[in-house]
Homo-oligomer: A and B are copies of this chain.
Amino acid sequence: MTGIGITSNQRGRNVAEGLATAIHEHRLSPGMKLNEDEVGEIFGVSRTIVRSALQTLSHAQLVVIEPNRGAFVARPSIREAREVFEARALLETRTAHSAATRATTEDIALLKRHIDEEHWAFDAGETGRALRLSGDFHIEIARIANQATIAAFVRQLVARSSLIIALYWRRRQATCESHAHHALLKALEAHEADRAKELMTSHLVDLLSLLDLTEPTDAPASLKEAFRLP
């Protein structure tokens, strides 16, 4: 469920989702060049489709397209990083509040499974997948809140957060994530809307505070190895 905006173009959408998932799982790093021919070869489509996918990703701000130079995985600035988390705090306090009042037992069960899966992935050392799942947890809450418009924004912000984390996350303590998520789940389950709201705020503030917002240094790896091709 690596949600990207609506593309009629089914094949383009597939390529966009493939690239987006790779970004979420940190197999593609910020700044990496996305060569049109190369991407086309990997997904078995022509450049027409690739361009459509890259345009989609650029609208989601996961990719930056430089005229006549090509597409690159975005490298959010420090400023952008703060803004994204501020916007998330604004939107997700709302989704958390609303989700707490609306969550059904099925919703809660789903979220529980989600957290478990996140835990397994983390314990199995699949940090990329764990990271993506932890983002999906937030997206799931937005979905439960039943506000498609806000949910779409949250999806985009979560996706961008993944890039921000790739760039600025230096300490290694990913466990705190799932503790916060667990607390949030409890509040949702008990329909304690105000508590959910506050837990969400502090969770996001926490995340931001754990970032090392100084100039990043980065050496983009190769595109092909992100998709395990020779």
The CA-CA distance from A197 to B66 in the complex, in Å, is 38
The copy count of this chain in the complex is 2
A 127-154 binary contact with B (CB < 8 Å = 1; else 0) = 0000000000000000000011110010
- The stretch from A80-88, A183-191, A219-227 touching chain B is A80-88
- Measured between beta carbons, the chain B residues less than 8 angstroms from A87 are 147, 149-150, 153
Interface size class of A (residues with CB under 8 A): 20 to 34
Q: Does A1 contact B (CB under 8 A)?
A: no
User: Would A149 and B84 be within 8 Å (CB), given that A8-B67, A66-B8 are in contact?
Assistant: yes
Q: Does A35 contact B (CB under 8 A)?
A: no
- Measured between beta carbons, the chain B residues less than 8 angstroms from A6 are 58-59, 65
A153 CB to closest chain B CB (Å) equals 6
A65 CB to closest chain B CB (Å) equals 4
A193 CB to closest chain B CB (Å) equals 15
The CA-CA distance from A87 to B142 in the complex, in Å, is 13
